[in-house]
């Protein structure tokens, strides 16, 4: 059972907007910034969002992050076939004194 809760799956057609939620609590999302990662099993994970809403250079502006209270979300607009992957939220947890990840959301492009 992950400390951060994500839906196991999400889907959309090409060009659609998909939003992935990440629910936590005060010691983690409530007090710290959130990161989002894309992972294709077998390959290196990739940072999509850091500092809750910042995009590293090279990440398209189709990806955006936000936070409200103890929940965060990742939005993917203009969905593309290459966006099919597992997406994870993560943050530091002040109570556990460690990084915590969500269980991951598998995004499928229909």
Q: What sign does the CA torsion over 24, 25, 30, 33 have?
A: negative
Contact between 23 and 74 under an 8 Å Cβ cutoff? The reply is no
Reduce the DSSP state of residue 54 to 3 states and report it.
Answer: strand
Asked if residue 101 binds another protein (CB under 8 A), the reply is yes
Under rule CB under 8 A, residue 100 binds another protein: yes
Stretch that binds another protein, among 13-21, 22-30, 67-75, 92-100 (CB under 8 A): 92-100
> Residue for token digits 């203009």?
78
15 to 54: interface string for another protein, x by CB under 8 A: ----------------xxx-x-x-x-x-xxxxx--xx--x
Is 79 a residue that touches another protein (CB under 8 A)? no
User: Looking at 13, 68, 81, 97, which residue binds another protein (CB under 8 A)?
Assistant: 97
Q: Which is nearer to another protein, 21 or 50 (CB)?
A: 50
Q: Is 68 helix (H, G, I), strand (E, B) or coil?
A: strand
Q: Where are the beta strands (DSSP E) in 1-110?
A: 9-12, 18-23, 35-39, 46-49, 63-68, 71-76, 85-93, 98-101, 105-109
Which chain residues interact with another protein by CB under 8 A? 2, 31-33, 35, 37, 39, 41, 43-47, 50-51, 54, 56, 86, 88, 90, 92, 94, 96-104
């Amino acid at each position: 059972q992950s400390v951060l809760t994500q839906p196991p799956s999400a889907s959309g057609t090409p060009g659609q907007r998909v939003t992935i939620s990440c629910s936590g609590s005060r010691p983690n999302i409530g007090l710290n910034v959130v990161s989002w990662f894309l992972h294709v099993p077998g390959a290196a994970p990739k940072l999509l969002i850091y500092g809750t809403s910042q995009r590293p250079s090279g990440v398209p502006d189709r990806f955006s992050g936000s936070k409200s209270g103890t929940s965060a979300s990742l939005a993917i607009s203009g969905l593309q076939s290459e966006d099919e992957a597992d997406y994870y939220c993560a943050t530091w947890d002040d109570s556990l004194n460690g990084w915590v990840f969500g269980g991951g959301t598998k995004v499928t492009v229909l």
